[in-house]
Amino acid sequence: MSILVTGGAGFIGSHLVERLLQEGNNVVVVDCLWTGSADNIKKFQDNDKFKFINCDVRNCISIPEDMFGKILYIYHLACPASPDHFERSPVEILETCFQGTKNVLDLALKSKAKVLIASTSEIYGDPEVSPQSEKYWGNTNSFGPRSCYDEGKRITEALAYGYQKSHGLEIRIARIFNVYGPSMQIDDGRAVPNFIAAAKEGRPLLIYGDGSSTRSFQYVSDCVSGLIALMKSNYRQPVNIGNDIETRVDDIAKLIVELVQAKLGDESAAPDFKYLTAREDDPRRRKPDITLANEVLHWKPTVTLRDGLMATMDYFM
């Protein structure tokens, strides 16, 4: 019996695979290495319990019968997650969200597997309420630069609901809030690696907007624990998986500069911040209400922003 992880060569996926292997499971990764990397899974290659299939989930997914036997669980993470990709490949992202997810759900039906869908806080759009609980329906723009992802993930959830309703498929929906940690791509356009790279090289840190918008960053190991707890639970509605400590973007940038300078032992002047026009439709606030995750999964994040950033820097520097 095995566990399938789509997107397992990506940032969150590779951490999840590592944990599942540590727990003694057979793990099959399906990934087309679009935004992930072979480097992220190199360390598993000698493990007999690990298999990799290079495949785009938009095409039919086929898992050889003799691979590890029956698939019990599917974690469906395959999808680009960085704003740079939203700008470059909107149609491909929408195809991944709809056709890719449909292929995964069909495979789950055939295998009688339970599926966890990696949804996102972005389905709340630019929220009018804070914190965002699972009951909030969101404020998204269907015709804009982020629509492929925000609306794509909304259709992913709707599709999963349809399969649960029509076919009785066992579905779990994780609404994941911003995650950071080792194995992110340094150049994929997300705030934490962007800030670390700039601070390390002494370049100005680019902040979109005036710095007052907020994010609630969770360290990747917390996210992985939340996903596994949700998969094991009996809860069939969406659950927020995030850290509820909200921080201004400019405060995160300042903390990263402080930590990078301390790590480099650099006494010279700190790099500047350069404020750019806010990205269109970028959410101004992000703060999860994690009461539900607490109640139904007995899960809450444990890694502080400072500790998580230091571990992330150990990877990048």
* Contact status: 134 vs ligand NAD (CB under 6 A): no
Given candidates 27, 63, 81, 259, which one binds ligand NAD under the rule CB under 6 A?
81
Q: Which of 154, 129, 180, 116 is CA-nearest to residue 288?
A: 129
* Contact status: 193 vs ligand NAD (CB under 6 A): no
209 contact partners, CB below 8 Å, separation of at least 6: 249, 275, 276, 277, 278, 279, 282, 284
Is the CB of 79 or the CB of 169 nearer to ligand NAD?
A: 79
Name the helix (H) or strand (E) containing 172: strand 171-176
* Contact status: 100 vs ligand NAD (CB under 6 A): yes
CB of 132 to ligand NAD, least distance (A): 13
User: Is 149 one of the catalytic residues?
Assistant: yes
* Contact status: 57 vs ligand NAD (CB under 6 A): yes
Given candidates 2, 5, 7, 140, which one binds ligand NAD under the rule CB under 6 A?
7
Given candidates 80, 127, 238, 301, which one binds ligand NAD under the rule CB under 6 A?
80
How many C-beta neighbours within 10 Å does residue 35 have? 20
Size of the site for ligand NAD (CB under 6 A): 27
Q: Per CB under 6 A, which region of 76-84, 130-138, 206-214, 246-254 contacts ligand NAD? A: 76-84
Alpha carbons 122 and 224: distance in angstroms, whole number: 19
* Contact status: 171 vs ligand NAD (CB under 6 A): no
Contact 248, 213 (CB under 8 A): yes
The residue type found at 139 is: N
Alpha carbons 72 and 80: distance in angstroms, whole number: 25
Q: Which of 124, 149, 163, 180 is catalytic?
A: 149
Q: Which residues are catalytic?
A: 149
